Chains A and B, each alone.
Chain A
């Protein structure tokens, strides 16, 4: 599936027609016509749309087929009243190929192009499977033709249209390790990267039960079985909607309802958080390509989140004495013990105050009285505002002192340079 994107159609392109013809210009649009709110399609959106609807074998219809899109066509050149004919297929310009093997999608008098844009509906099944409309999983292409003469197959304009309906292979070697309210999931990417995977979706569910943790907004792939059954959803599973029972079991069918993480194709692992320690979860991985073709479900692995001890906790449990306390008043004033100004003052305390006897005495005095003052400050918006003004120069002074090694040499160098410059001026 290195075969790349489909529709060059979404880009604006022009072609120089045969002698006597002007220039055709086409864009692609999805859904309703622009006058009714239809939107222009990007190249990638058309590709996904084509794959989404590839299994539909609808009859040709000039109705507003929701699984079709439009070529927005314009023409500039001579207007002589000739008819032009629109076809999609392969090798349709070859008179040896029966036109019945191509899909006819319309005809227009060239004069009708004058001063207006024409919208030519294109059912995607005719695009993917001209003449048959048979569901296939493949990467291939068709060509859009504008004939000025059908008998001689005179081509006034043509453009290739590629598509890709082939799903990637399923990820292999799935491993799941329990963490603190989390599961670390890894898999092998070697077997799937060659299929042009864009991202991996990780599916989770409590073991033996429908998922309660699925992140529906990541459920963005085309389930071919759903498409063929005309259960078409590119978007999210509705909140509160039940996921199908038994979908996340070995041999089951991947279902977007269970997506709990999504990572780029360059990743081969992800950590899923927000889980309950002690609860068993089933996990599987699905590879999705850039056209939203989804791979089969990987093997399903069960694992259980468990309590863990990170380095900070282990250090403290081992008897380590380094602390993480904070400045009471500054926290009350700035409303957050992690506020950058609070951090500056806390570091200043550690560096400039706790390293000498007078400083340590001040810190002890402050710790005796600070909490009470902080409580008063929290209840007084006026005091909070006033202290913000008072503390600012103190924070600035502390920050300058703490970063002294970084800026002092440059200040010294600049002062010296100016002094030398003054001296040169004086000598001159």
Chain B
């Protein structure tokens, strides 16, 4: 393990020397696609007295997907941009029988987060010294559309006691993320240069980020809490 870490460090140090400067066009945009295991903190509303989400869907995390487009309005010591993202989380399970066991009917929870964020990328080391690792942070507001489906696949109702109101809505919140991206161009600078010439893509990255989402209508009661934390992995390009 130690030798592996040493080899990685040597590679990181050595790669910049081999890298060529190929940036032919200015960078203004970044797009990424990322995914990570996620579980919404719906059950936190009950303070441990009940776990309806876990009862139906279980405690295991499921993949949540996000895609983000950001525009970098400042490039100096790092870059600062404003971005908008859109995501999808889908969880299916089985409706419960009276004794709490699973029935043959399906039920599902769908969450579509939409966000507006500020994105800061400390890519000064990359642009100045060709160091391929770039730390970054994001913060912003999110609006989460959600709905629940019943065994017929239709939007479920809360129950007869609520006049049959549909189980769907939206929850506001905020979100922060911290991440580290690895510039792929350093591994094959010739291909990166060709890609830039042919498609205008300046840089491509793989990255890992930790995301925390607090969505409860800013503490409002009677809100479906759909936030949570997740490690996300993804691929991004600057152009």
Write the residues of chain A forming the contact surface with B, with a CB cutoff of 8 angstroms.
176-180, 182-184, 271, 273, 306-326, 337-338, 346-347, 350-351, 354-355, 402, 404-406, 408-409, 413
Task: Compute how far the CA of A413 lies from the CA of B81 in the bound complex, rounded to whole angstroms.
Answer: 12
Tell me how far the C-beta of B71 lies from the nearest C-beta in chain A, rounded to whole angstroms: 6
Write the residues of chain B forming the contact surface with A, with a CB cutoff of 8 angstroms.
42, 45-46, 49-53, 55-57, 69, 71, 82-84, 86, 93, 95-98, 103-109, 114-116, 141, 143, 148-152, 156-159, 161-163, 165-172, 217-218, 220-224
Task: Compute how far the CA of A322 lies from the CA of B158 in the bound complex, rounded to whole angstroms.
Answer: 9
Could you say which residues of chain A place their CB within 8 Å of the CB of B104? 176-179, 182-184, 271
Do the beta carbons of A313 and B221 come within 8 Å of each other?
no
Choose one: B53, B69, B152, B218; the contact of A355 (CB below 8 Å).
B218
Task: Compute how far the CA of A84 lies from the CA of B129 in the bound complex, rounded to whole angstroms.
Answer: 90
Task: Compute how far the CA of A346 lies from the CA of B155 in the bound complex, rounded to whole angstroms.
Answer: 16
Task: Compute how far the CA of A116 lies from the CA of B3 in the bound complex, rounded to whole angstroms.
Answer: 89
Do the beta carbons of A351 and B148 come within 8 Å of each other?
no
Given A306-B103, A312-B159, A324-B167 in contact, is the A405-B152 Cβ separation under 8 Å? no
Do the beta carbons of B170 and A347 come within 8 Å of each other?
yes
Q: Please name the residue on chain A nearest to B150 by beta carbon.
A: A310
Task: Compute how far the CA of A238 lies from the CA of B177 in the bound complex, rounded to whole angstroms.
Answer: 64
Interface of A is mostly: mixed
Do the beta carbons of A322 and B57 come within 8 Å of each other?
no
Could you say which residues of chain B place their CB within 8 Å of the CB of A183? 104
Q: Please name the residue on chain B nearest to A360 by beta carbon.
A: B220
Tell me how far the C-beta of A359 lies from the nearest C-beta in chain B, rounded to whole angstroms: 11
- Contact sample, A vs B, 19 pairs, CB 8 Å cutoff: A177-B104, A182-B104, A182-B151, A306-B103, A310-B107, A310-B148, A318-B51, A319-B46, A320-B46, A321-B221, A321-B222, A323-B158, A324-B162, A325-B162, A346-B169, A355-B217, A406-B86, A409-B69, A409-B71
Do the beta carbons of A311 and B105 come within 8 Å of each other?
no
Could you say which residues of chain B place their CB within 8 Å of the CB of A325? 162-163, 165
Could you say which residues of chain A place their CB within 8 Å of the CB of B50? 318-319
Do the beta carbons of B52 and A310 come within 8 Å of each other?
no
Could you say which residues of chain B place their CB within 8 Å of the CB of A321? 45, 221-223
Do the beta carbons of B71 and A310 come within 8 Å of each other?
no
Could you say which residues of chain B place their CB within 8 Å of the CB of A355? 172, 217-218, 220
Do the beta carbons of A313 and B156 come within 8 Å of each other?
yes
Q: What are the nearest 5 A-B pairs in CB distance?
A: A324-B165, A177-B104, A184-B104, A312-B167, A179-B105
Tell me how far the C-beta of B162 lies from the nearest C-beta in chain A, rounded to whole angstroms: 6
Do the beta carbons of B46 and A354 come within 8 Å of each other?
no
Tell me how far the C-beta of B217 lies from the nearest C-beta in chain A, rounded to whole angstroms: 6
Do the beta carbons of A323 and B165 come within 8 Å of each other?
yes
Task: Compute how far the CA of A83 lies from the CA of B223 in the bound complex, rounded to whole angstroms.
Answer: 87
Could you say which residues of chain B place their CB within 8 Å of the CB of A177? 103-104
Choose one: A311, A347, A405; the contact of B95 (CB below 8 Å).
A311
Q: Please name the residue on chain A nearest to B73 by beta carbon.
A: A416
Q: Please name the residue on chain A nearest to B156 by beta carbon.
A: A312
Most buried by B among A311, A315, A321: A311
Do the beta carbons of A319 and B49 come within 8 Å of each other?
yes
